[in-house]
Structure 1
């Protein structure tokens, strides 16, 4: 990173995290070798469960899991700006699909998500069979294992009772997918419905969150069941899987608990008070203003210039082609947001052109030149001004670092678009795909499409869900992940649709085998 302040904040955050949720000894950073298990101990299952929920917080970092899902795609890059943001090429290698088994973020993300799986397994072992605590832990284990499967294609697994000397067994991608579905289907009848009690909020595991994740798994099941030596497809989407997607998303749609934010209010989903304002939140990290547990502020610090408010890290940008794919009337492009723009100077959404400060005056860069964000970026050699920035989560004026933004994992608009995609891929029982897509488009100020193709749907998903951590997953499923895009001029080799197993993990667990192509 390019700021000492950022490095210090990460160190402090890491220390606090370990102090709060240190129910499991994490001294050994590779999950394959936890130092001890709490199974059979007298630890309170509720406390253990809270530790699993806390393991969600690292997913909010701009690094690791989030970076692997976004920097590898056609909607985000991290250009080197002089000596800033070089970081030994970590961002370039993600964007250009040239990572290897020793890439720092590939290794760190592996630790984060596998730790979540193991901690949830500990809760399941300690909780009463059939209890709500066990059901929540099964959902969380499925949630973390979904990322293991999606990113790495195989999943080490150990029971909570296994001793230190036991090498974790390894589930293939296909086996792990079935494991996720079994966990979710086991948990679903016991999980509370959203709104049925004090703890049945989008910040906890609910029936609706489980239904959403089941739909996501079934939507990608063809990808995850693919021959490991042909990971890029072509994929065959079974009608039975698509029917499951429709079944589970229909349950969410027909629950009457969610609705799209109306025209002009898209960014309420990412407001510092989105808990109250948004009716789209299915599963989130719930946060309290003044005491956030996850670093949602990274979503605006990672992109804002040093001379904006707050003084950001001046890093990540979107790609000009992605920005140019939006229709002019699409409110998701952004614009002035009352209560933020009038105080901080910039809009919600995409920031391009001359930037203004809190007083409305034109800002300058560090050299005294006009601060103009231009679309063209060179990944290797850029100055501090180039690149279109993105403000998805809205900074709260006067409370920049302590906002109460709930961090969104699952959102209602995605459920509608998954339902449409499943219908387009041969599923039955849902509304016509074009009707669902138009429902989303109309809410964002756009006119109806007369029909919908796969290309239309992929574009709509990109426009609706940009910078929310789904783009790599979508591009792979639609078969376009390997194609050239800005600053990645060549077609990528097929094996990179799955990341390598980190070398450190291979060295500690002989049951793991490196993925095809690495």
Structure 2
């Protein structure tokens, strides 16, 4: 599937049929893409339907209709920045204790300092990306109802195939609505039943959209493929993982804890998914993570291909942006790229999570220190802050990616897939949910999962799980060591009540060099001013914005 489904965008002739570029999401939720091919032709052919589905997956990885740039999906920001995965990563990592970026583009420094407002162009781009994706999914779901398939004369076998595709589209929509409530709280809402070109979307509460996501994921579970049936497609394992995440954060989203359900769905993944930890942690972030044993740990990736899915976002960003300074000398041989971009570094608070800091024996501590200081006193000085070598465009055996210059390429674009969901995350969610009182699991099993992760890292095994606050802190710190720079940290810190608090600070939190607490409103990003002006149905999620 890796080369024939989400990756082969050049084959998707009908997918230049998508929505025109947008500068705001208003109306996107209830509009239909403009097709060059007639929908009644496209949607009566399962092969073409699968190609349209492929574009829904690809929207997480690419930024427009022409790689690497030239026909952006959304406007109002440089196309390279506009990529879904790149935007998501920045929103989830830069405001936290894990990463900082040296660039001064637009309002980007506000992410480093937690000082954004409703006019921030990066906040707006994340918001627009989410609702652009939801709009595409809504149209696909509209076009693939049983009634529509019957009208088009599809056979029972073809209907069954397309029902699976439709369930995948519903998963992708649920994923984006989860991102929406996690980051923005109360959001505009429309599903496939909304009239195209009809009224502007109404705003729904975070709790209402939570219920929608929960209901959708349970409804599609039976139609999705079995876990690991085909790499990089949303299957039951991905569905169970998203449900686990939803329930683990339920108290934040709805005010009601749902830890029993979090344990239940984590158990579904852990006992029925057939997943296993990659023997080598570093191989999870190499070009052959779709083929090596790392594949057995990855539950849901965002796929990349240096020849077929060229983009300046996603993994291109994550491999290039941490490389610079003295590390740039190793760019070709060690990273499979022509050169680094000199952007992101690790904050000292991440370094300190590892025993021994940058010199830790923990195999997950992938710091590069030559020419770099540990401490950061100037955001824009790239030599301040240790560099991170986690993501590379080389294989587990040292072979450079397909676009590397040694292979006749440009040295720009990346083959490594991004592991959005993976097994170690689910194991740690199980541990946390049990410690928070979730039933259906045991502390003994939780300790086993935690020690399995630590064993792979070469870290000391724990004799017992600490109870209470100490146990939860143990899990939070382990999540930092295991999952750093994978897009989880902001959500984790909010769940633990530490994101805006002054009791735990990191460099430049609140704009202060040493860090300081910030107002509680920063637990949510603001609804962009552009949508508040365009849609009178919307209200800002916090009066402080």
Q: TM class by shorter-chain length?
A: 0.7 to 0.9
Match 2:342 to one of 285, 296, 314? 314
Q: Distance in 2 between matches of 1:38 and 1:26?
A: 8
Which position in structure 1 is the counterpart of 2:334? none
SS of the equivalent of 2:17 reads coil
Which position in structure 2 is the counterpart of 1:369? none
SS of the equivalent of 2:119 reads coil
The answer on whether the counterparts of 1:62 and 1:302 sit within 8 Å (CA) in structure 2 is: no
Q: Distance in 2 between matches of 1:220 and 1:68?
A: 18
SS of the equivalent of 1:457 reads helix
Q: Which moved more, 1:207-216 or 1:388-397?
A: 388-397
The answer on whether the counterparts of 2:10 and 2:308 sit within 8 Å (CA) in structure 1 is: no
CA-atom RMSD in angstroms: 2.5
Q: Distance in 2 between matches of 1:29 and 1:474?
A: 30
Q: Distance in 1 between matches of 2:27 and 2:13?
A: 20
Deviations 1:251-293 (A, max 9, x none): 111126211122xx10111111011120210001234464345
1:245 and 2:245 equivalent? no
Shift of 1:128: 3.2
1:215 and 2:236 equivalent? no
Q: Distance in 2 between matches of 1:16 and 1:464?
A: 36
The answer on whether the counterparts of 1:23 and 1:51 sit within 8 Å (CA) in structure 2 is: no
Say if 1:36 and 1:436 are closer, same or farther in 2 by CA, change over 3 A: closer
Q: Which moved more, 1:408-417 or 1:485-494?
A: 485-494
Shift of 1:352: 1.1
Which position in structure 2 is the counterpart of 1:173? 206
Q: Distance in 1 between matches of 2:13 and 2:178?
A: 27
The answer on whether the counterparts of 1:24 and 1:36 sit within 8 Å (CA) in structure 2 is: no
Q: Distance in 1 between matches of 2:13 and 2:99?
A: 33
Deviations 1:28-81 (A, max 9, x none): 3322223942599424243432221121115866742211110010001113xx
> Structure 2: any 5+ residue segments left out of the alignment?
1-8, 44-48, 63-81, 147-159, 332-337, 395-399, 405-410, 510-514
Shift of 1:244: 1.2
Q: Distance in 1 between matches of 2:172 and 2:85?
A: 21
Deviations 1:73-101 (A, max 9, x none): 0001113xxxxx2224x332112111000
Q: Distance in 2 between matches of 1:184 and 1:61?
A: 22
Shift of 1:18: 11
SS of the equivalent of 1:296 reads helix
Q: Distance in 1 between matches of 2:222 and 2:459?
A: 39
Shift of 1:115: 1.0
SS of the equivalent of 2:416 reads coil
1:183 and 2:216 equivalent? yes
Say if 1:389 and 1:60 are closer, same or farther in 2 by CA, change over 3 A: farther
The answer on whether the counterparts of 1:62 and 1:299 sit within 8 Å (CA) in structure 2 is: no
Which position in structure 2 is the counterpart of 1:149? 181
SS of the equivalent of 1:170 reads strand
SS of the equivalent of 1:147 reads helix
Match 1:505 to one of 531, 537, 545? 531
SS of the equivalent of 2:204 reads strand
1:55 and 2:59 equivalent? yes
Q: Distance in 1 between matches of 2:378 and 2:11?
A: 33
Q: Distance in 2 between matches of 1:101 and 1:417?
A: 34
1:477 and 2:495 equivalent? yes
* Aligned pairs, number: 446
Say if 1:159 and 1:410 are closer, same or farther in 2 by CA, change over 3 A: closer
The answer on whether the counterparts of 2:93 and 2:485 sit within 8 Å (CA) in structure 1 is: yes
Deviations 1:427-471 (A, max 9, x none): 122242333212211121112223231111100001000000000
Using structure 1 for the length normalisation, give the TM-score: 0.81
Q: Distance in 1 between matches of 2:18 and 2:412?
A: 29
The answer on whether the counterparts of 1:60 and 1:296 sit within 8 Å (CA) in structure 2 is: no
SS of the equivalent of 2:260 reads helix
The answer on whether the counterparts of 1:57 and 1:293 sit within 8 Å (CA) in structure 2 is: no
Q: Which moved more, 1:170-179 or 1:160-169?
A: 160-169
Higher helix share: 2
Shift of 1:315: 0.9
Q: Distance in 2 between matches of 1:33 and 1:458?
A: 39
The answer on whether the counterparts of 1:209 and 1:410 sit within 8 Å (CA) in structure 2 is: yes
Say if 1:38 and 1:324 are closer, same or farther in 2 by CA, change over 3 A: closer
Q: Distance in 1 between matches of 2:273 and 2:127?
A: 37
Q: Which runs of structure 2 are paired with 1:63-462 in the superposition (5 Å)?
A: 63-79=86-102, 85-88=103-106, 90-129=107-146, 131-160=163-192, 161-196=194-229, 200-201=230-231, 203-226=232-255, 237=257, 241-255=258-272, 257-262=274-279, 265-277=280-292, 278=294, 279-288=296-305, 290-292=307-309, 295-305=314-324, 307-308=328-329, 309=331, 310-327=338-355, 328-333=360-365, 349-353=366-370, 372-380=371-379, 382=381, 384-396=382-394, 397=400, 399=404, 400-432=411-443, 433-449=446-462, 450-452=464-466, 453-462=471-480
Q: Distance in 2 between matches of 1:159 and 1:281?
A: 29
SS of the equivalent of 2:290 reads helix
Q: Distance in 2 between matches of 1:225 and 1:388?
A: 38
Using structure 2 for the length normalisation, give the TM-score: 0.77
Q: Distance in 1 between matches of 2:276 and 2:83?
A: 25
> Structure 1: any 5+ residue segments left out of the alignment?
1-14, 80-84, 227-235, 334-348, 354-371
Q: Which runs of structure 2 are paired with 1:41-52 in the superposition (5 Å)?
A: 41-42=39-40, 43-44=42-43, 45-52=49-56
SS of the equivalent of 1:476 reads helix
SS of the equivalent of 2:384 reads coil
Shift of 1:105: 0.6
SS of the equivalent of 1:189 reads helix
The answer on whether the counterparts of 2:19 and 2:33 sit within 8 Å (CA) in structure 1 is: no
Q: Distance in 2 between matches of 1:124 and 1:326?
A: 46
SS of the equivalent of 2:345 reads coil
1:37 and 2:58 equivalent? no
